[in-house]
Amino acid sequence: MKLKRSAGILLHPTSLPGSPGVGNLGAGARYFVDRLSEAGIRWWQVLPLNPPGAGGSPYSATSAFAGNPTLLDLNALADAGWLTEAECTSFATGCETFHPREFPVDAVTARKREMIALAAGRWADDGGQDDPGYVAFCDDHQSWLDDYALFAALKLAHDEKGWQDWPEDLVRREPDALDHARKELHDSILAERFAQWQFFHQWSALRHYAAERGVHFIGDLPIFVAMDSADAWANRSLFELHPDGRADAVAGVPPDYFSETGQRWGNPLYNWEALKESGYHWWIQRISYICRTVDLVRVDHFRGFESYWRIPAEEPTAIHGEWLPGPSDHFFDALREALGEIPFIAEDLGIITDEVRELRDRQNLPGMKVLHFAFDGDPNHPFLPHRYPEHCVAYTGTHDNNTTRGWYKSLSDMERHHVRTYLAHPDDGIIDALVECLFGSRAALTILPAQDLFYLGAGHRMNTPGEPEGNWGWRMLWEELSDDQTFQRLGELVDRTQRRT
């Protein structure tokens, strides 16, 4: 896959301003598209759009297929007649105590779920299940929707406990127990199906709006699924899980730049042999789905397809584990045979071996470069912009990094000296100089986190790996999104570096 010279902005939709409590797929998202289009930005990169699990992380989603209902635009549900203006106003009033910079994940998600259930009830009372669009959606997504809707309803009925802590007959998915749950939780299941139908309807409308303005989406595909997910619960044989849900080992990464003790993610590991025997059917469905949702796909933790870190389940950290071989070329060749050429970006950061690079290159996938990692004094560091190949995607930082202003402030005197020397630029205006250098590089695609547009400091980062709390809640202010000077400056940078397409 060959990328055209272009530029993008990284911003998860939850971070959009202008709506109560959390960003959504409505007017604020369309206005953001307008701003990108005006500046000549071709790409809007998002984090996984799936419903987040505990802690609000979209990388620990309760489904690898479902969309996040918290992103629904309630005004659109009101326009359809399923909510009243007074109810939308009441929801907004309930969010007035939240800081405009803050998306309080648990509080807003719970309130929004109540609003969606209210809308779903009215839709159902009006015979909505017979709507041809809804029927077609359910038929098209049956392979995952039935299990997910039941899973989500059961989690709600069991006070959001993980499925491994449900009654044993539900853990083991005994047919009689599942049939009873479907009858008992009929209304809740229907509300979940309604929410998914509306999510994909609203997302499709936003994507169409963006495409008309020359803006396309980069999605994010975590390699692993969460332990507490419909995928693990409903597809036990595809993972290293016992029938009772226990795992002997879990996923993570050993100590690296981000953490001295590594990262013990706790995801279930794949049973790659069983997946291979099935022709990677589950994975092919997953890739097919995301390619219908976005235009480019960032494959998170790409190195896990070459080899993955297996941590014994009893280990409290990721220090002790072992590397085991992943499915490698056989997996990607099977995907290509089933789906054709797939627009992947390989997230090849962290502990990367020659074998991982060779797999990336054999599959002709663009890798990633991160400017923040470049300034250790090595004049030949591969992340210095003059070293970038054309076939790559370059970032100042990712969602896991500090903001560029926060990062620069945190550097030692010697590291800041390396930056100033490389750029031949003083401290004053150094952020602009870094961004200009990145955009001026040979990299086909450059991505700027939205925080760096506004020179925001360390308190505005999206995620701090290894920190279980205080992540995923950052929001842009409306005054920032509506700042003409900022987007004019961005457009001039795009033109100056010949990235307007």
DSSP string, 137-175: HHHHTHHHHHHHHHHHHHHHHTTT--GGGS-HHHHTT-H
Q: Which of 42, 92, 82, 91 is nearest to 444 (CA)?
A: 42
Domain that holds residue 340: 6-496
Residue 368 lies in a domain: yes
Which one-letter DSSP state was computed for residue 387?
G
| Mean pLDDT of the 75-99 span | 96
The mean pLDDT value of the chain amounts to: 96
In the chain, how many domains are there?
Answer: 1
Q: How far apart are CA 38 and CA 12, in angstroms?
A: 20
**Cα 280 to chain centroid, rounded:** 22
Give the count of beta carbons closer than 10 Å to the beta carbon of residue 235. 20
Q: Which residue has the tokens 């029938």?
A: 243
Q: Are 466 and 26 in contact (CB under 8 A)?
A: no
Residue 102 lies in a domain: yes
Q: How far apart are CA 443 and CA 437, in angstroms?
A: 11
Residue 19 lies in a domain: yes
Would you place residue 53 in the very low, low, confident or very high pLDDT band (cuts 50, 70, 90)?
confident
Residue 379: exposed, middle, or buried by beta-carbon count in 10 A (0-12, 13-18, 19+)? exposed
Q: How far apart are CA 217 and CA 430, in angstroms?
A: 29
Sign of CA dihedral 162, 165, 166, 170: positive
- pTM comes to 0.97
Residue 97 lies in a domain: yes
Q: Are 64 and 286 in contact (CB under 8 A)?
A: yes
CATH number at residue 274: 3.20.20.80
Residue 476 lies in a domain: yes
Each residue of 248-298: pLDDT tens digit? 999 999 987 767 898 899 999 999 999 999 999 999 999 999 999 999 999
For this structure, is 354 an active site residue?
A: no
For this structure, is 347 an active site residue?
A: yes
Residue 501 lies in a domain: no
Residue 347 lies in a domain: yes
Q: Per the residue annotation, which of 400, 415, 436, 483 is the catalytic one?
A: 400
pLDDT of residue 258: 67
| Mean pLDDT of the 345-356 span | 94
Q: Per the residue annotation, which of 228, 347, 348, 452 is the catalytic one?
A: 347
For this structure, is 300 an active site residue?
A: yes
Q: Are 8 and 448 in contact (CB under 8 A)?
A: yes
Q: Are 27 and 485 in contact (CB under 8 A)?
A: no
| Mean pLDDT of the 232-261 span | 91
Which pair of tokens denotes residue 490?
């961005």
Q: How far apart are CA 402 and CA 16, in angstroms?
A: 19
Q: Per the residue annotation, which of 300, 306, 348, 452 is the catalytic one?
A: 300
Quick check: 386 pLDDT over 80? Answer: yes
Length of the chain: 501
Quick check: 201 pLDDT over 90? Answer: yes
Quick check: 52 pLDDT over 70? Answer: yes
Residue 66 lies in a domain: yes
